[in-house]
Chains A and B, each alone.
Chain A
Amino acid sequence: MAVTTGTNVMNNVEAVRATLYEALKNDPRTLVMGEDVGPRGNVFLITKGFLDEFGPQRVLDTPLAEASIVGIAVGMAMEGLRPIAEIQFSDFIFPAFNQIVGEAAKTRYRSNGDFTCPLVIRTPYGGGVRGSLSHSISVEALFYHVPGLKIVAPSTPADMKGLLNAAIDDPDPVLYLEHKKTYRLIKGEVPDGHYTIPIGKAAVRKEGHQLTVVSYGLNVHQALEAANQLEADEALKVEVIDLRSIRPMDKQTILASVRKTRKLLIIHEDNKFGGIGAEISAMVAEEALFDLDAPIHRLCGPDVPPMGYALPLEEEFMISTERMKQRMREMVKF
């Protein structure tokens, strides 16, 4: 079975695949379920070969019925299994909204702690892959509002593994978001063996003292590229924070950085209005207003219903590295 382990350079898809493989191998409570995870091996080939190795009890092909995928997984989790449910594309998650928000997130509270719901829901999100309106959307803000639900959006292969392990270990439901454009674009070293990265802990990807940029997913890589270019070409020192966990949010890391740089730019591909950036802005305004030397800015996807299919429309929706550079430069010089 061609799943590599050891300290390896992997892309994000390989990291998810390797982590799932190890989980299935090492923990008999785990199982993967979703549309096309069986013989097809997932549309991105993440679970290719899993059915043969682990059998249909632990690699469940489901009907095209998201409500039942999550609903069944909630029951399994409450009964002691560790289901890793997959929504094939985050665009299709809405039939399961009630099961995620109304059931999974409330299980612990509703049962007064008698039951928890150790469920992982994995789903690819995000655009830039000519996915148009049903294979491009970002769903984090739609679930962000819900207490009881954790949301992670790792950006690097090492984080993909560490946070997926943490999500599987977590006693409560975790929505695990994988930016599909990073799947094969982003490569990196992945440590050997089982390890976790704590949920709720951001990472400072690049240090700087003139501006704090907070982002997650694909945008982190672009922000890093932009910040590195600005440093090389214009000697501007921009700090880049990879949020990694969207909820709970790592307030301490963000605040410490903002108190140092006094300026905050939030970048996300998801629509601006009511997005993750709005919450970060509000938090910083509440906690660090008197450390701010510039208005907080958000560089986000436009508030239009879908990402267009035509390339110019898609490019307009996605935030280019050039636009990031421009905004960073303006804010540093403000």
Chain B
Amino acid sequence: MATTITMPQLGESVTEGTVAQWLKRVGDPIEKYESFVEVSTDKVNAEVPSPATGILSRILVNEGETVATGTPIAVIEDVAAAGAPAPSATAPSIAEPAQMADARTPSEQIAAAIPTPAANGAARSAGPQTTTPSGAVISSASAHASPAVRKLAREHNLVIAEIRGTGQNGRVTADDVIAYAKQRGGAPAPAALGAMPYAGEAFHTTQQIGGAPAPVPHGAAAMYANPQFGQTIPLTPARKIIAERMVESKHTAPHAWSMVEVDVTNVWKWRSREKDGFQQQTGYSLTLLPFMLRAVSEAIRQHPLLNARWTPEGIHVNAEINLGIAIGLETNLVVPVIRNADHLSIKGLAIAAGELIEKARRNRLSVDDLQGGTFTVNNVGANGSVASAPIINGGQAGIVTMETVVRKPVVTKDDAIAIRSMMNVCLSLDHRVIDGLIASRFLNALKAGLEAMGPTGSL
């Protein structure tokens, strides 16, 4: 039996998609739910999970080509029909019909393949993993694991995707596998949330991101990741979109800029005090980002114009405070959104941000994750910056940055000199929507909010 796969509709109002990259070649075996092609639209890059197990027998659309949704893009041949050795895969235990003629839309299928915290345990068991004849458990996330990690995981009968990575960019190292095996030897499998493969370390979330290995870039993305002098790097769809949006924002929104210096000594102490317990309880690292998100949403509530959008008809003040978090990846930039951020506690914000960062790093963001932002927070301090002039995310009124926390001597209110942890917060604003006065009030509210946090409290 052959299965024809069509270009999925990645989001409402999306009518076409570009094959960014084939993750499999003709003749490669594919497990059901295993990502086999990366599709990009003007909204999102997504890896498409396979609806069937088999051999990729035909590729109908070349990389870089754009076709309408519903256009056939590939054919997957049933393993037995293809005459290839059967990988003796056991059917994934999922509570849904394992049939090709799925009534859901492709985007729903994609969404179903994206683990959410609530469905995490179930989603993982429904994920692209299978038991090989040797009894070893492998998964698609192990595709980029080093040979040593694969070997150790096989020996210990472990799923690499479940192991928290402490290597570069959250890579699962051989030591991680050994530590995990030891830990498993003594204790039962960790609870669903605790097993989330996210281990953001330190307070800057954009750099140290844990979990299974990030997808390895191919083609133009690989060239971008390893640029050579004298070379012209072809534009990936993501790069084109970034370029267009940056130019558009900078050309349409007159940017003004302001900065305040925030004393984060107390909030940092608070964070340090809670860090270990939080990690144990939730499986997430506690960084400075959720404290910042909390302070930003409070300041926006006091100054709703920061949550506004310029339209020719008037300045529309958005009803919800949806905070975008800028996440720098090796070859592009994504800004997933935490909806109704002002409804979440610091703990809730930490978990929401952790999930989005993990998804971003694994190229698993859905269209929904990227839509609806009303204001953006950019944690540039991860890269050592002390001041930056960010470009506003199109259609928003402003963007703030968190700069590097620097310990320095500060003159306190009572004229003493103390060593404090100071962080600059920079704001770019759309001067059509806001003037300096409001901007300063917002920044001061944000500063006051952060400085009032800690050194103790309830997350």
Give Cα A330 to B168, complex, Å.
9
Whether the pair B168, A293 counts as a contact (CB closer than 8 A) is no
Contact of A290 among B147, B167, B171, B173 (CB under 8 A): B147
Tell me if B182 counts as interface (CB < 8 A to partner A).
no
- Closest chain-B Cβ to A272's Cβ sits at a distance in Å of 16
Interface residues on B, range: 10 to 19
Q: Of all chain A residues, which has the CB nearest B171?
A: A334
Tell me if A197 counts as interface (CB < 8 A to partner B).
no
Give Cα A289 to B151, complex, Å.
10
Whether the pair A292, B167 counts as a contact (CB closer than 8 A) is no
Whether the pair B167, A334 counts as a contact (CB closer than 8 A) is yes
Contact of A262 among B148, B150, B171 (CB under 8 A): B148
Whether the pair A333, B148 counts as a contact (CB closer than 8 A) is no
Tell me if B174 counts as interface (CB < 8 A to partner A).
yes
- Closest chain-B Cβ to A302's Cβ sits at a distance in Å of 14
Q: Of all chain A residues, which has the CB nearest B147?
A: A290
Tell me if A170 counts as interface (CB < 8 A to partner B).
no
Residue of B148, B151, B168, B171 with most partner-chain A CB within 10 A: B148
Whether the pair A334, B168 counts as a contact (CB closer than 8 A) is yes
Tell me if A294 counts as interface (CB < 8 A to partner B).
yes
Q: Is the interface of B mostly helix, strand, loop or mixed?
A: helix
Tell me if A22 counts as interface (CB < 8 A to partner B).
no
B167-193 interface code vs A (CB 8 A; 1 in, 0 out): 110010110000000000000000000
Tell me if A291 counts as interface (CB < 8 A to partner B).
yes
Give Cα A333 to B173, complex, Å.
9
Whether the pair A291, B168 counts as a contact (CB closer than 8 A) is no
Whether the pair A333, B168 counts as a contact (CB closer than 8 A) is yes
Contacts of B150 in A (CB 8 A): 290
Whether the pair B147, A292 counts as a contact (CB closer than 8 A) is yes
- Closest chain-B Cβ to A81's Cβ sits at a distance in Å of 51
Contacts of B147 in A (CB 8 A): 289-293
Give Cα A294 to B172, complex, Å.
11
Contacts of A294 in B (CB 8 A): 146
- Closest chain-A Cβ to B270's Cβ sits at a distance in Å of 28
Q: Of all chain A residues, which has the CB nearest B146?
A: A293
Contacts of A290 in B (CB 8 A): 147-148, 150-151
Which B residues, 127 to 185, have Cβ-Cβ distances below 8 Å to chain A?
146-151, 167-168, 171, 173-174
- Closest chain-B Cβ to A297's Cβ sits at a distance in Å of 13
Give Cα A290 to B146, complex, Å.
8
- Closest chain-A Cβ to B427's Cβ sits at a distance in Å of 34
Which A residues, 291 to 316, have Cβ-Cβ distances below 8 Å to chain B?
291-294
- Apart from A262-B146, A334-B168, list 4 A-B contacts with CB within 8 A: A262-B174, A291-B151, A333-B168, A334-B167
Chain B residues in the interface with A (C-beta under 8 A): 146-151, 167-168, 171, 173-174
Chain A residues in the interface with B (C-beta under 8 A): 262, 289-294, 330, 333-334
28 pairs, A vs B, C-beta closer than 8 Å: A262-B146, A262-B148, A262-B174, A289-B147, A290-B147, A290-B148, A290-B150, A290-B151, A291-B147, A291-B148, A291-B151, A292-B146, A292-B147, A292-B148, A293-B146, A293-B147, A293-B148, A293-B149, A293-B173, A293-B174, A294-B146, A330-B168, A333-B167, A333-B168, A334-B167, A334-B168, A334-B171, A334-B173
